[in-house]
């Protein structure tokens, strides 16, 4: 009995520890606890939802589909998948690409190599989504109901999930996670604290706009980062100054802008809670950059679908990925068949009318001839 109670108590303590622990390399938040406010979900909705700031865009995501892509309630969604099974993998969150000019434990080349790891991971996920999209349509271009249904809800991270829409959006969502973390974890769009000297505890800020030319997920070229670009080094004991492997290095704790409030409709960012995020408008810049980059990546994903599968099929795939009822909303192939059938019916109807009119004329001529033969002789 004592052993059982001890086991239960230990389990409770582990769970509480996990919930209370700060989100490590997770970047923008995915849950509503531990200081997180579902930042990934909220900025994704602001960027791509039909209910968000781009609601007038033809390729925005409708509600049920957006719920899967961005997550909702207790569901991580596609965008949050890396926080479930790649939480401590720096490549999935653009961590460990740290560097400061001068006497520093790493070289610019080593920092760039870590950035390349992150970029390659995002490109791999981007490609996985593009590959999966080919199963959305049948051989005649028809939307396949079994591949686009969202009932039951998609299950990211589950190898048994094979529906094409689910797997396509999971690949794209995992790529977006890294893209968004780049703005939260790097100094690309922020500024240093002007009240402190620049160094590993206060790296310089680049204050650069989005989208970033470094995040070309359609290409294969190696990035050429600015000399002072840095992301944060991460270890489990994430703090400033760095400890363990992160000693004397720029840390995730010192550089991230992960936490704060984001309006899921407008993308407005307020109430930052991390030290770097509270410097000037750093949190707002990270969110704005991530929103802009998310839109760019969706545009690139759409363009690649068209380039890879052709205009007609590519556009129908885009429709299937964004609509909640794609079988009825995206049935372009069925529409073509219906138009052809209608034209055929019109041709038959016209033919019948012509035949009927000719028959009437022949009948009238016949009656006129009969009437003439019955008249008096001349």
Q: Considering all CA atoms of the chain, what is the largest pairwise distance in Å, rounded to the nearest integer?
A: 133
Predicted pLDDT at 30? 75
Q: Are 264 and 46 in contact (CB under 8 A)?
A: yes
Measured CA to CA, the distance from residue 81 to residue 361 in angstroms comes to 75
Q: What's the mean pLDDT in 93-115?
A: 98
Q: Are 177 and 82 in contact (CB under 8 A)?
A: yes
Predicted pLDDT at 164? 98
Domain boundaries, the chain: 22-330, 335-361
Q: pTM of whole model > 0.85? A: no
Query: Does residue 14 carry a pLDDT above 50?
Result: no
Give pLDDT tens digits for 223-279. 999 999 999 999 999 999 999 999 999 999 999 999 999 999 999 999 999 999 999
Structure tokens at 169: 């959006």
Residue 201 sits at φ, ψ, to 5 deg, of: -90, -10
Q: Which residue has the tokens 């359609």?
A: 218
Q: Are 241 and 247 in contact (CB under 8 A)?
A: yes
Predicted pLDDT at 19? 37
Give pLDDT tens digits for 299-349. 999 999 999 999 999 999 999 999 999 999 998 544 444 433 444 444 444
Give pLDDT tens digits for 181-191. 999 999 999 99
Measured CA to CA, the distance from residue 240 to residue 133 in angstroms comes to 44
- Determine the Cα angle at 136 with ends 327 and 129, to 5°: 135
367 band by pLDDT with thresholds 50, 70 and 90? low
Give bridge partners of residue 143 from the DSSP assignment.
137
Q: What's the mean pLDDT in 154-158?
A: 91
Query: Does residue 378 carry a pLDDT above 50?
Result: no
Query: Does residue 68 carry a pLDDT above 80?
Result: yes
Residue 24 sits at φ, ψ, to 5 deg, of: -75, -100
């Amino acid at each position: 009995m004592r052993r059982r109670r001890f086991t239960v108590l230990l389990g409770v303590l582990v769970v509480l520890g996990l919930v209370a622990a700060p989100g490590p390399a997770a970047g923008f938040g995915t849950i509503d606890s531990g200081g997180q406010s579902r930042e990934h979900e909220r900025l994704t909705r602001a960027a791509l939802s039909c209910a968000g700031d781009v609601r007038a865009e033809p390729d925005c995501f409708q509600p049920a589909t957006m719920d899967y892509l961005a997550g909702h309630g207790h569901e991580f969604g596609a965008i949050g998948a890396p926080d479930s099974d790649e939480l401590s993998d720096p490549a999935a969150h653009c961590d460990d690409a740290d560097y400061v000019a001068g006497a520093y434990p790493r070289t610019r080349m080593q920092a760039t190599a870590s950035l390349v790891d992150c970029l390659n991971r995002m490109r791999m996920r981007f490609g996985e989504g593009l590959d999966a999209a080919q199963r959305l349509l049948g051989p005649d271009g028809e939307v396949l109901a079994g591949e686009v249904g969202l009932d039951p809800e998609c299950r990211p991270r589950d190898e048994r999930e094979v529906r094409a829409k689910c797997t396509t959006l999971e690949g794209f969502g995992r790529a977006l996670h890294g893209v968004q973390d780049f703005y939260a974890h790097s100094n690309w769009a922020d500024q240093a604290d002007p009240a402190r000297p620049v160094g590993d505890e206060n790296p310089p800020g680049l204050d650069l706009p989005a989208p970033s030319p470094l995040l070309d997920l359609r290409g294969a070229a190696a990035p050429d980062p600015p000399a002072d670009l840095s992301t944060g080094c991460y270890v489990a004991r994430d703090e400033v100054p760095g400890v363990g492997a992160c000693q004397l290095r720029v840390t995730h704790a010192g550089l991230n802008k992960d936490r704060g409030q984001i309006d899921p409709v407008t993308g407005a960012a307020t109430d930052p809670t991390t030290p770097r995020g509270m410097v000037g408008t750093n949190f707002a810049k990270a969110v704005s950059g991530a929103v802009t980059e998310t839109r760019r990546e969706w545009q690139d994903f759409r363009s690649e679908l068209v380039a890879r599968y052709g205009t007609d099929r590519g556009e129908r795939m885009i429709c299937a990925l964004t609509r909640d009822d794609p079988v009825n909303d995206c049935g372009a192939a069925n529409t073509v068949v219906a138009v052809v059938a209608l034209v055929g019916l019109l041709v038959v109807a016209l033919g019948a009318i012509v035949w009927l009119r000719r028959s009437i004329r022949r009948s009238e001529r016949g009656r006129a001839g009969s009437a003439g033969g019955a008249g008096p002789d001349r």
